[in-house]
Amino acid sequence: MTHTLEWKVHLHLFEEGGTTKARAAVDTGTAVVTGHGVAHRNPVDPDVPEIGDELAAGRALHDLGRQLVDSAEHDLDGVHAPRPEPRPALGWPM
């Protein structure tokens, strides 16, 4: 059985006084899930807004992904399906 969906993620960035905030939201058709991320610039660091944007956006998307995985695991529990084996974490720690 083929199953095709398209979920659009909206990513909003806000910067003020060396702090960048991001909000990532996806509408699944049955729920809207929103992730949040923040990046703070050290006052002694150069003012490079793109770095704050990348950090805040990445953190918001990471939060959004975690919430979606948590939701799927909750749904698995509801149908009494076995959970997949945990995988080792990859990449740099957040």
What are the tens digits of pLDDT across the range 13-68? 999 888 999 999 999 998 999 999 999 998 898 889 899 999 999 999 999 999 99
Pairwise CA distance, residues 20 & 13, whole Å:
7
Cβ(7)–Cβ(33) under 8 Å? no
Name the helix (H) or strand (E) containing 50.
helix 49-78
DSSP structural state of residue 87? P
In order of their start, the domains of the chain are 9-78 (3.30.160.240)
pTM higher than 0.95:
no
